Amino acid sequence: MDEVSGAFKQWMERRDAEKDLDDQRRKEVKDAITALIGDAGDSSAELAEIKEMVKENQVQEERRPEPPKLGDDEDDNHTCPKCGRAMEEGDERCQYCGASLAKR
C-alpha cells in the first residue's frame, strides 16, 4: 500500500511541477502580448507610415505593365502567362514562377 501512495505522491509532484511550468509559460506569453499591444498603441505614427508605404506599393503595382498573355499566335506560346518570361518549347510550368502553361 505504501508503494501505491508513494507512486501517487510522485505523480502529484510531477503534475504540480508541470502545472507551475505551464503557468509560467502562460505568464510569459501574456506579458509578450501585452508588450506588443502597448508598443502598437504608442506607435500610431509608425502605423500611418506603414499605411502610406502600402498605398505607394499599390500605386506602383497598378502602374506596372501587365505581362503578355498566352495567345493563339505561335510566338506567344513560349512565354509565361503570369510573368511573361520566355519559356522552352514543351515546358508545362514556368521555371521562374511555377505558373501552368496549359491553354484554357
Does the predicted TM-score (pTM) go above 0.85?
A: no
Q: Quickly count: other Cβ atoms within 10 Å of residue 101's Cβ.
A: 17
Cβ 83 vs Cβ 91: under 8 Å = no
Every domain of the chain and the residues it spans:
2-64, 66-104
One pLDDT digit (tens) per residue for the chain, 104 residues: 677 788 888 888 888 888 888 888 888 888 888 777 776 555 677 777 778 888 888 888 878 777 666 555 555 457 787 888 887 777 788 888 888 876 54
Coil/strand/helix, residue 7:
helix
